[in-house]
Amino acid sequence: MSTITTRDGTEIYYKDWGSGQPVVFSHGWPLDGDMWEYQMNFLAEHGYRVIAYDRRGFGRSSQPWSGYDYDTFADDLALLLDTLDLNDVVLAGFSMGGGDVARYIGRHGTKRLSKAVLIGAVTPIFGKVADYPQGVDKSVFDGILAGLRNDRAEFLNGFATVFFGTNRPGHKVTPGILAQTFNIAMLASLKGTLDCVIAFSGTDFRDDLKKFDLPTLVIHGDDDQVVPFETTGKLSAQLAPDARLKVYGGAPHALCFTHKELLNEDLLAFIKG
């Protein structure tokens, strides 16, 4: 397998397809890099080098006991880009992975990047704090943690309903996709799955977004029941200096699956533009 090893000995797995300008993908919770297969295959067929990695604790990467914070995630991503000596990178993050993109830019700058993409991202703040009362209440995340600790498999099985929006009229997803994403999620360590909830619910990315000195595409569904558009994507597009917002009407959180054709075309147009 293709891996890099971090300073604390964690092995980070990545897949690397195609050739051309690099596009690097950071995945959402509780998935791994395989969630990007439709975007990766599409862009590789259109002449791009596509790279997706599994966050520490998820997929084929090591499962350390610690390091599940955004500074560490950003440093892991920086090591990947440095090790592969990637330049002119389009860096894309979904949901929790949008925080990886933001904190990477906040800590490491944009010297290796050309563009950024935030898809259903948890930026600028996901959870409610004193000066951000519109965020999601802490009780929601406490409920997630309790559900995971009690019966992770059953909790994730139920989470798919709001992730894919199948509780809305006309929103359907195949049994195959449900099985695929469930199996991916269960590969992760329980510790990493729990700690990442704490990380994405409690990290403030407002200062990171202000350092986005590059073209940025923000894509979000306006019926996202996991990461509410009004308090995340809409505001991220306002904070990033050179951002363009694209709203998918009626779309749920899982855009990479439910709206993959539209997303693929939007990504290709943005990368080319």
| Active-site choice (16, 75, 195, 224) | 224
Respond yes or no: is residue 253 known to be catalytic.
yes
Give just the sign of the alpha carbon dihedral 33, 36, 41, 45: negative
Assign domain 3-272 to a CATH class.
alpha beta
What is the domain partition of the chain in residue ranges?
A: 3-272
- Residues above pLDDT 70, as percent of the chain: 100
Please tell me the distance from the alpha carbon of residue 157 to that of residue 152, in angstroms, as a whole number.
8
Whole-model pTM over 0.95: yes
Catalytic residue, chosen from 27, 220, 253, 259, is 253
76-118 pLDDT, tens digit per residue, is 999 999 999 999 999 999 999 999 999 999 999 999 999 999 9
Q: Cβ–Cβ contacts within 10 Å for residue 154, how many? A: 11
Give the active site residue among 95, 189, 201, 236: 95
- Per-residue pLDDT for 44 more than 90? yes
- Give yes or no: 131 in active site: no
pLDDT tens, residue by residue, 11-32: 999 999 999 999 999 999 999 9
Average pLDDT, the chain: 97
* Residues 121-178 pLDDT 10s: 999 999 999 999 999 999 999 999 999 999 999 999 999 999 999 999 988 899 999 9
Which is nearest to 7 in space by CA: 66, 52, 53? 66
**62 annotated active-site:** no
